[in-house]
Amino acid sequence: MEELHQAALAYYNNGSQNLQLLAANFFRSMDRNGDGRVSKSEFITFLRQNGYGWINPSFFNNLDRNRDGGLDFEEVLTFYYIIKTRNLWCDGCGVCLKGLYFTCVECFDRAANTYDLCSRCYSSRRFRHNHTCFLDNHMLLRSKRTQLRQAVKDFLLDTILLMKTIIDAGNHSSTTNFLPSSYTC
């Protein structure tokens, strides 16, 4: 949770005035009595009235970093960051995915909704899913980056080959100078 808190602060501190205003308004919408803190009952009311009923109210305890029974602005900022950017919950046990988690690669590639699991559910195989290939979120990102790089290389090579074919077909041998000498086909 600490990493999410730090990320939320970083985005807030480096965000536009508009983003900071949205975060402040979000806090005020939760702090119904205006005392500068969000109580557990205010948190639960907010969840129910704003379509977040699927979030377990005990998540409040995860957000309450100093364990004082209320959420200050920075603690609510962490919640704001989670629901606006992460919104990831284990499809096995329902916990908020705060750090490393596993994603079904096929669902990630084909569907709008991913199938995500916490390390505990994935390790103990406490889930039912019709696909078998899972990667942790860091490896998934790296594998997709590698695929993208290869796709760009393939596109560039295809473009160069096409240009060479067009030039050769038109007998414009004098125009082949624009191809770098390192591109040999």
Placement of tokens 């559910």 in the chain:
121
Residues 102, 151: Cα–Cα separation, whole Å: 25
Residues 22, 77: Cα–Cα separation, whole Å: 10
In the chain, beta strands by DSSP E:
38-39, 70-71, 101-104, 116-118, 134-136
Half-sphere exposure in the Cβ direction for 46 (13 Å, CA): 22
- The domain limits of the chain are 1-85
Contact in structure between 108 and 127 (CB atoms under 8 Å): no
Q: What is the pLDDT of residues 35-64, one digit of tens each?
A: 999 999 999 999 989 888 777 888 899 899
Q: Is the pTM of this model over 0.75?
A: no
Per-residue confidence (pLDDT) for residue 139, from 0 to 100: 81
Residues 49, 129: Cα–Cα separation, whole Å: 32
Q: What is the pLDDT of residues 105-143, one digit of tens each?
A: 888 888 678 899 999 999 998 899 988 888 888 787 777
Cβ-proximal residues to 139 (8 Å cutoff; 6+ apart), any chain: none
Per the CATH hierarchy, to which homologous superfamily does domain 1-85 belong?
EF-hand (1.10.238.10)
Residues 57, 48: Cα–Cα separation, whole Å: 10
